Amino acid sequence: MTPHSVTLDLGGRTALVTGAASGIGRACALRLAAAGAKVRAVDRDAEGLAALERAAPDAVETVRLDLTDLAAAEQAAAGVDVLVNNAGLQVVRPLEEFPPDAFRLVLTVMLEAPFRLIRGALPHMYGQEWGRVVNISSVHGLRASAYKAAYVAAKHGLEGLSKVTALEGAAHGVTSNCVSPAYVRTPLVERQIADQARLHGIPEERVVTDVMLTDSAVKRMVEPEEVAEAVAYLCAPQSSVITGSSLPLDGGWTAH
């Protein structure tokens, strides 16, 4: 079992994690379960959800849901104490070739669904004067990269949504923050290597060093468990004054 650096007791709390079937979302779900939370794991990937449930059978309740169903997304968030907006996808194309449908899909899943989930979660959080919203943004919520128009736009929007949630939630004991990693070792990154190679005109084996790690001073990918630990930190009682912030896990990328 991975050692945890944050002491966190979420016994009696419910935490909803979107995109929990894979990568960062799975790591967050398992971390919050280890803290004692009942985890409502939302994803459209039934197989990944089943695998997660096998890993933490007593703590995880799976909800198979496509987040483009915005009304269902809002409903799923009712009654949760912790909300982790994590689900996402990447489309890598130059602007003039960027399919408008793909642009809309990315904005729907990564910005509009988080808005609806927050909207669904806040009444219960406000009612009990406690809640934690953690939005998995990205270094691309703070910096742009070529060929990622929809993703960069969605993540910049998510950073703004998170700040507004922080301002409105403060009087009700609700914090909202972003965690903003550089490249994390997940299937989302593996899937974009071929596109990045083609668009940058380099072989696939050079994409990690020549594209993904060029702006990071720390020359390695982030691990999903490191992102999950940052989420745990933002849920801890000692973090109640941290709100409206964006915590970069970016190896120094935004120090440039």
Which residue number places its CB atom closest to ligand NAD?
23
> Does position 186 bind ligand NAD by CB under 6 A?
yes
Of the pair 68, 240, the CB lying nearest ligand NAD is at 68
- Sheet with 131-136: list strands edge to edge: 60-64, 38-43, 14-18, 82-85, 131-136, 174-181, 246-249
Of positions 66, 168, 195, 210, contacts ligand NAD by CB under 6 A: 66
Q: What is the DSSP string of 229-253?
A: HHHHHHHSGGGTT--S-EEEESTTG
Angle of helix 149-169 versus helix 113-128 axis, rounded to 10: 20
Binding-site size for ligand NAD (CB under 6 A) equals 27
Determine the Cα–Cα distance for residues 14 and 227; give it in Å rounded to an integer. 19
Select from 17-25, 50-58, 74-82, 199-207 the region that touches ligand NAD (CB under 6 A). 17-25
Among 10, 52, 121, 189, binds ligand NAD (CB under 6 A): 189
Report the DSSP beta bridge partners of residue 248. 180
For strands 131-136 and 174-181, give the pairing: parallel
Cα–Cα distance measured from residue 60 to residue 137, given in angstroms and rounded to the nearest whole number: 24
Catalytic residue among 147, 151, 183, 233: 151
Q: Does 136 bind ligand NAD (CB under 6 A)?
A: yes
CB 185 within 8 A of CB 253: no
138 lines the binding site for ligand NAD (CB under 6 A):
yes
The verdict on whether 183 is a catalytic residue reads: no
- Taking the least distance from each CB to ligand NAD, the nearer of 103 and 130 is 103
Q: Does 67 bind ligand NAD (CB under 6 A)?
A: yes
Q: CB neighbours (10 Å) of residue 253?
A: 22
Site string for ligand NAD, 68-97 (x = CB under 6 A): x-----------------xxxx--------
- Which positions touch ligand NAD (CB under 6 A)? 19, 21-25, 43-45, 48, 66-68, 86-89, 109, 136, 138, 181, 183-184, 186-189
